[in-house]
Each structure stands twice: as C-alpha cells, then as structure tokens.
Amino acid sequence: MDKKLVITGMGAVTPIGIGVQEYWDNLMSCKTGIDYIRNIDTDELPIKFAGEIHDFNPKDHIPRKKAGEMDRFMQLAYVAAGQAISEVEIDPYRTGIVVGTALNGIGTITETERKYIGSTLKRVGPRFLPKSLGNVSASQIAIEHNIHGPSMTLNTACASGGDAITLSAMMLQFGMADMMVAVGAESGTEPILIQSLAAAKALSANNDDPQHACRPFDKDRDGFVLGEGGGAIVIETEEHAKARGAKIYAELAGFGNNTDAYHPVTPRPDGEGEILCMKQAIEIAGIKPEDIGYINTHGTATHKGDVAETEAVKAVFGDAAKDLVLNSTKAATGHMMGAGGITEVITCIRSIETGMIAATLNLDNPDPLCDLNYVSTITAKNLKYAMSNAFGFGGQNSSIIVGAYK
C-alpha cells in the first residue's frame, strides 16, 4: 500500500460486554452471551436462543427522542461508533464513514408489518422508512459527530463489517479522507429470520442447552447461533495520526475481498474464493503467510463452512499452517454478522497487544476434518500479525490483516 494505515479508535457493543474493555475481559473470562431469547415471544419458534445484548438500554446511551428514531441495529452502531470516535479528533471535512450491515432495519420492518396486519386503521408512521434504511445509520452517526466526508453503506452479508474496513482503507489510499470510521452493526433476532434459517438447517437446534449450542470446529456442531451487536474502528493514515499525536493501537496491514461465484448460500467445497481472498490480503500487506501467527476464523459452526475454511487455510499457509493459532469467538457472542467483522478485528488487535488469544468455547471433541490448532483454552503467543476472516452468503469473502504498530 502507498500509505501506511493505522487504527486509533475502537468501539464494541456485544452480548458479552458494552465497550471494548468489558468485551475483552469477558472474552478472556470465557463468558458466553448466548442464552434464551427475551426480546420476542419464542413459543411458536423452533429455535429459542440467541446472542442478545440483555443489558443494553438505548436510553442509557442515546437521547430518548433520537433513540426512538432508530432501529435497534442503528442504536448499536451509533453507540459503538461513539466509543471509537471519542478517542480521536474529528476534522469534519476530512473524515468519512462506512457502515456494513447484512439485515438493515429488519426489526422495524417486521414489527411494522405485524402491527399493520393486526390493526383496523391500516396506517404506517412517518419514521418507518428512515428506521428501515441501512444508510440512515451512517447518517445518524455523521449528524452526531459532524462528519462531512465520504459516506457509504454496504451490504455483503456476513462479510459486511470486514468490507466496511476494506472500503474505508481504499478511500484513505485514494486521498478522499484522512480518517475513516468503519462500523458494522446487526440486530436480526426476528421470527421470520429464525424460521427461515431453521428451515434451512443453518441454526443450532440445541434448545435444551443454549450456552453450549455454538460449537465451532467440534464434531458435534449442528449450526450457528444468531447474535446482535455493533463494532467500530477509526482508521487513519499514519501521517495524519502522527501529526496530531494520536495513540495508535495497530497497523491496518492488508485486506482482501472477492466472491465465490458458486452458490447463494453454500461455500465452495474447494475453498477457492476463501483461498484467493486470504492471499490477496497477504499480498497487499506485503508479508509472508508465516508472518501471521493467529487467525480469528469465520468459524460459524456449520458443517460445510468450518471444513471449507480449514482446507482454505491449509492451502494458503502450507507448512506454516501447523504453527498458527486459530479460534472462533462466535461461540461466545453468536454470529453478529456485520458487527462481527469489526469486533473480531478488534479481538485480533487486543490479542496482538496482550499476547493472549481467546478460547474457542465448547470445542470439546474436535472434528478430525478440522485438524488445525483451533484452541479451546486461552493461549499465549507473541504476535506480529493477525488475520480476521468473514465469509458470507452469496459467496462474499473478506480477510483483514492487522499488525503490531512499528
């Protein structure tokens, strides 16, 4: 890359903690945020658990009127972005924002539909559209923090958060801004989504033991668990960050994006898209595969997905794959989709800072087909670089590499 990019602010709102420090502390305490769903009635649902943020009251963080103008995913994005932005100094016309989300305002859409069907008046309020549109999340953040630079919202399924980072980096490289706020957010614990994913047999059905339901790379895994959350990082050119004396957490070293061109929901069995995506990120970073010591995997606990990612990593890293430490933090948070692409990069940054790598919860009986060093206990390792993978429906692939700042 022509310009060195650095990360100077971070924010997280997750099922295991609000704020980066609380999120990290609970991750290191092997806490899970997956439990029975409280936000909706689950009596008629086949799946009754998810990774919800039970202690998040928007009115504790957002003025009452403004909170009422936002879908829940927007509230989570708004708070996470505020945390990250609080660590930096905004130059209004040289700062931009990219928001990644898979589901947009699905909560507002489904709630409005339920009320509309059940009402005799057949009226819909004026806030429906702005609460449903994905880009209004970026708008609300920009209004609050006086951000006038580039603004983009993208939807690349589970890769949305990682792709928000990639698009932010591209804008910085082209000189469109000196600072970018990359945000990912999701809140989709809704009956129609749960019913659809359950019918597709994508979700874990372990209603009897929710906290042990998400089992990435375990031979007894039976699907992923929905999660909700928000994540944000501030990315700057090194020149801009140093000029203002910024605290620098890590270098944004490389990024990759491509598509499988294979199937709307199933990953390529040969992992070709994932392989090429990771290779692209490594090439852009200007490093060798063996320079990476840790991968926070996509690792959703689906049968095909976990095996495909394992094979892809082995194809990219070759003999160096045996020296990698890998995990999936989705067993703690659930699959936060757009938010996960950001919070899992934050996890990589904290692992580089501390030399500690979180455990993959519930990995009790490793699948022989997932034969890399997926750690089930907290592991110490000095790291120069770490990679975060996010692979989504539609064959969307994202890989992000962060490194210790020199």
In order, the DSSP letters of 12-78 are EEETTEESHHHHHHHHHTT----EE--SS--TT-S--EEB--TT--GGGTS-HHHHHTS-HHHHHHH
Q: Does 158 qualify as catalytic in the annotation?
A: yes
φ/ψ (deg, to 5) at 400: -125, 135
Q: Does 240 qualify as catalytic in the annotation?
A: no
Assign 4 to helix, strand or coil: coil
Q: Which helix (H) or strand (E) holds 234?
A: strand 229-237
> Cβ contacts of residue 30 below 8 Å, gap of 6+?
332, 358, 359, 361, 378
Q: Which of 158, 214, 277, 370 is catalytic?
A: 158
**Rounded to an integer, what distance in angstroms lies between the CA atom of residue 347 and that of residue 360?**
13
Taking alpha carbons only, the member of 394, 164, 155 closest to residue 259 is 394
137 and 161 Cβ atoms separated by less than 8 Å: no
Q: Which of 145, 240, 298, 370 is catalytic?
A: 298
Taking alpha carbons only, the member of 323, 113, 330 closest to residue 216 is 330
Q: Which of 145, 214, 277, 335 is catalytic?
A: 335
101 and 164 Cβ atoms separated by less than 8 Å: no
Q: Annotated catalytic sites, by residue?
A: 158, 298, 335
